[in-house]
Amino acid sequence: MQRLFTPGAINQFSHTLQKDQATKLFTLLSKYVPETKKEKRQRLKEEASKKNENKEENTQKPVVVKFGLNHVTTLVEEKQAKLVVIAHDVEPIELMVFLPSLCRKMDVPYCFVKGKARLGKFVHQKTTTCLAITDVRRE
What integer pLDDT is reported at residue 63 of this predicted model? Answer: 84
The pLDDT tens digits of the residues spanning 81-108 come to: 999 999 999 998 899 999 999 999 999 9
Q: Which range marks the domain in which residue 73 is found? A: 8-35+62-133
Q: Does residue 56 belong to any structural domain of this protein? A: no
The 10 Å Cβ neighbour count of residue 37 is 8
pTM of the model: 0.86
Under 8 Å between Cβ of 126 and 117:
yes
CATH of the domain at 68: 3.30.1330.30
Q: Give domain status of residue 71, yes or no.
A: yes
In a domain, 101, yes or no: yes
Residue 104 resides in a domain? yes
Give the residue among 99, 81, 82, 79 at the shortest CA–CA distance from 90: 99
How high is the mean pLDDT of the chain?
91
Radius of gyration for the chain, computed over Cα atoms and rounded to the nearest angstrom: 18
42 is a domain residue: no
Q: Give the residue among 102, 5, 63, 57 at the shortest CA–CA distance from 130.
A: 102
**Amino acid (one-letter) located at 94:** E
Total number of domains in the chain: 1
Does residue 23 carry a pLDDT above 90?
Answer: yes
Residue 14 lies in a domain: yes
Confirm whether 3 is domain-assigned: no
Q: Is residue 2 part of a domain?
A: no
Residue 34 CB contacts under 8 Å (≥ 6 apart), including other chains = 62, 64, 65, 123, 124
Q: Which residue has the higher pLDDT, 63 or 105?
A: 105
